[in-house]
Chain A
């Protein structure tokens, strides 16, 4: 770090630590982050490209990998819009109105975050599995939910449930109700008020939540692992495919597929950072 200045942000000298301490703390922080964040990121791509670009693209274009990608996209295509509509509806009710139980409702929305991913998947097995509460009903209708695509979609919806709501609620609270009230008084309909007044105010917050929701939906492992049954080409998502390849000692292929998910994570972080700047304004 020689020659690199570690300054203090907007503080006079007497209100910060001596330069030596600043360098030391910055060194510790960067060392810790390098070890836990930068090194793992590097490993993914080094291992994925270990045998060059040819095998890399071969692993990604493998039919099982493509099927897994398709299922991951399907799960996200259900989970993100459903949780987005829910998040905006919950935001409207919770941020624009005062009613008894409002705080409790906000806590309940966060429930899926408190539950272990394994339990999040397991409850759907208890509900729809062969011996589950609704198992016989599903069997009568010839509906396969657990160890099939619907179970994967449900588990994905469950774990990514709170993301949009918890971003939209504070943004809606911050904008208050005056603009909407003015629009209503001036004769706008409910939908006009929402689409012309509310939505422009909250659009970056909604997008922010949707991006995080999507990252979780596409990356979920524990919950989906329990309900999937892991049938290759049928009920395998990308993260599950990574596990299968890894457990079969096909490390290069596992990391090639993992690199796709890592790229998704990196893109998520970039979009998130850009949106944070917009939201801060």
Chain B
């Protein structure tokens, strides 16, 4: 460590480590320790149970589609908010964080009410035989809502930092606007775009509050993994809950590593 005149290193680092360990690390460690005490056969039986597998497929599949929707619209929203000026831009920019600030239970009952067969949106698609609420579409809608800010917020600063000179150079060399966008700007945004996508995806996989109302929770069809964990806990089947949660935790940590790597890539791209 470099010598410094600043005091308090031991005190603050010590406090940080103790607080982090007691509140976060120790509680999180209980999960793998508990999982280790469950016989392997029982673990395997739980996580290969068709109902559990169906919940993983739904949680991962719907999260992926929701992240794709956010990838497309998030890019457009970020671009419009940074590059174009129109009345109300600042208010709309602030509103993008609503899914972060709005409690998930409120989001859940609100989206359900909107999408229900007699709801503001649901009534217009019902005649065509499309069910939004209490279907997999509803699960995806809720996951799109809670992941919405991630792509926008990771792309915005990168678009702001885009050097006008690069675009100028490409344009003066004869590239059309479309070529500049697809060959110069999009490749530059790519790492941040992927980071936003991964963040939205990771958030959606673990999401509970906003999804549980709109999904209808039908086993094998619209039951997400976090809900199955709660169901097992309520039946005091701690071993079963632990098994399902362990798989989810592994997925989450893998995504965390991927996101860290992507963020490193973004920083290098922007700095270099």
Contacts and interface: CB of A to CB of B under 8 A. Distances in A.
A2 interface: no
Interface string A1-28: 0001111110100111110001001101
A278 B241 CA distance: 46
Chain B: interface residue count, which band? 35 or more
Interface in B54-102: 73, 76-77, 79-87, 90, 92, 94-102
A76 interface: no
Contacts of B148: 36-37
B30 A25 contact: no
A222 B84 contact: no
Interface stretch (B43-51, B104-112, B123-131, B188-196): B104-112
Contacts of B106: 44, 219, 239, 242, 258, 261-262, 265
Contacts of A93: 9, 12-13, 16
A40 B270 CA distance: 36
Contact of B144 (A36, A215, A273): A36
Contacts of B52: none
A242 B227 CA distance: 18
Interface stretch (A56-64, A95-103, A136-144): A95-103
Nearest to B254: A114
Contacts of A9: 82-85
Nearest to A98: B2
Contacts of A273: 90, 94
Most buried by A among B2, B100, B209: B209
A78 B33 CA distance: 28
Contacts of B85: 5-9
Contacts of A99: 1, 9, 13
A33 B99 CA distance: 11
A265 B172 CA distance: 47
A185 B5 contact: yes
Interface in A38-86: 38-41, 43-44, 47, 82, 86
Contacts of A184: 5-7
A158 B167 CA distance: 45
Contact of A265 (B73, B81, B102, B202): B102
B110 A43 contact: yes
B95 A37 contact: yes
Interface in A252-274: 254-255, 258, 261-262, 264-266, 268-270, 272-273
A218 interface: yes
> Which secondary structure characterizes the binding site on chain A?
helix
Contact of B109 (A8, A122, A212, A255): A255
A136 to B, nearest CB: 15
B40 interface: no
B103 interface: yes
A212 B153 CA distance: 15
Chain A: interface residue count, which band? 35 or more
A20 to B, nearest CB: 12
A116 interface: yes
B245 A262 contact: no
B255 interface: yes
Contact of A15 (B96, B167, B245): B167
B16 A123 contact: no
A11 B233 contact: no
B101 A265 contact: yes
20 contacts: A8-B83, A15-B167, A18-B177, A40-B102, A86-B16, A89-B11, A97-B4, A97-B6, A99-B9, A107-B260, A108-B20, A116-B245, A118-B229, A133-B33, A184-B5, A239-B105, A265-B103, A266-B101, A269-B101, A272-B94
Given A98-B1, A239-B105, A269-B95, 5 more contacts: A26-B84, A108-B20, A118-B227, A243-B213, A268-B101
* Nearest 7 CB-CB pairings of A with B: A116-B206, A219-B103, A221-B209, A190-B7, A222-B208, A265-B101, A118-B226
Interface of A: 4-9, 11, 14-18, 22, 25-26, 28-30, 32-33, 35-41, 43-44, 47, 82, 86, 89-90, 92-94, 96-99, 105, 107-112, 114-119, 122-127, 129, 131-133, 154, 157-158, 161, 177, 180-181, 184-185, 190, 193-194, 212, 215, 218-222, 225-226, 238-240, 242-243, 246, 251, 254-255, 258, 261-262, 264-266, 268-270, 272-273
